[in-house]
Structure 1
């Protein structure tokens, strides 16, 4: 698995960006959102149970990420058509304001090393990538355990200070001085 300090692999994927007829899909690449932080998170499959709780929470907090100069990108191994059908079907996903990337060929999830060894689906992986394309945070959860979006925001805040942040540090708390 790629980890902190590694370069985010180059990618070019189709994403669902809207439910509006004729504007549903857009190509998103590793070069999209230049100068921005990226929060890239993967879920195993659409039309499942834990996944929509996470996706909906990232959706509710998308503006909080944008306020920090970060773009949220969600991805699974499903196609853009399945993503769109799920958004149209699930009330909590209808108004998402971030792209749902279709990694149908498993190119990005393979390059990141986050495919489940027996099931072949993407693990619940989260990456925070700095504006230079370097992974600064990587986390993977078991398929049955949802992640904490508040913790992803807290980690982004800490990374953006570019200072030493103690355990349980929150935005506004003092940072540490090197002795």
Structure 2
């Protein structure tokens, strides 16, 4: 069963954000758009490149009213130590959520049970707390923040324009489609 259009399950976790430990819950994801990005582990190789790429685009996400949450099965203490020692992770201003029990990772169905690590899962969540984008990668394949930004814009557009859909490669300001009987066989 797909997680698309399902509600985020209840959770409570501790995150490292801007020099502080903060609580993050499912309630924090409501009322605004959110992106939850799971990654395997701190102090690894592909992970810091992805988190740095998100950090480099963070202001653009914020302009859209989107909060980003990075999540791994490490503790919030490990996130702080990584932040303090990695030039790439020092750029991160969004919460890095610790999930040492794996609850959140299992809730989003990205846990690799035999390793106790998360797959690279990306989830876009609407203000009602429903998952609108779900993308899961093998851990050897890094993600692109600008492509994620495009998907967030498309999800926001579709949410605010009922009856319209965004075609492949849609970019903000480009034409959309209005599905109807008249379009069948004409695209």
* Fold match by TM threshold 0.5: yes
Structure 1's unaligned 5+ residue stretches are: none
Q: Secondary structure at the match of 2:151?
A: helix
Q: CA deviation at 1:51?
A: 0.1
Q: CA deviation at 1:33?
A: 5.1
Q: Could you tell me how far apart the structure 2 residues matched to 1:74 and 1:34 are?
A: 17
Where is the helix percentage greater, Structure 1 or Structure 2? Answer: 2
Q: CA deviation at 1:117?
A: 4.4
2:156 counterpart residue number: 160
2:16 counterpart residue number: 16
Is 1:113 paired with 2:109?
yes
Question: Scaled by the length of structure 1, what TM-score is found?
Answer: 0.93
Matches of residues 27-106 of structure 1 in structure 2 within 5 Å? 27-32=23-28, 34-106=30-102
Q: Could you tell me how far apart the structure 2 residues matched to 1:66 and 1:40 are?
A: 14
- In angstroms, what is the RMSD of aligned CA positions? 1.3
Q: CA deviation at 1:7?
A: 0.8
The alignment covers a number of residue pairs equal to 175
Q: Secondary structure at the match of 1:32?
A: helix
Structure 2's unaligned 5+ residue stretches are: 159-163, 181-187
Q: Could you tell me how far apart the structure 1 residues matched to 2:73 and 2:116 are?
A: 9
What is the CA deviation profile of residues 24-55 of structure 1, one whole-angstrom value per residue up to 9, with x for unaligned ones? 20111111154100000010000000000000
Q: Secondary structure at the match of 2:51?
A: helix
More deviation, 142-151/126-135: 142-151
Rg larger for: 2
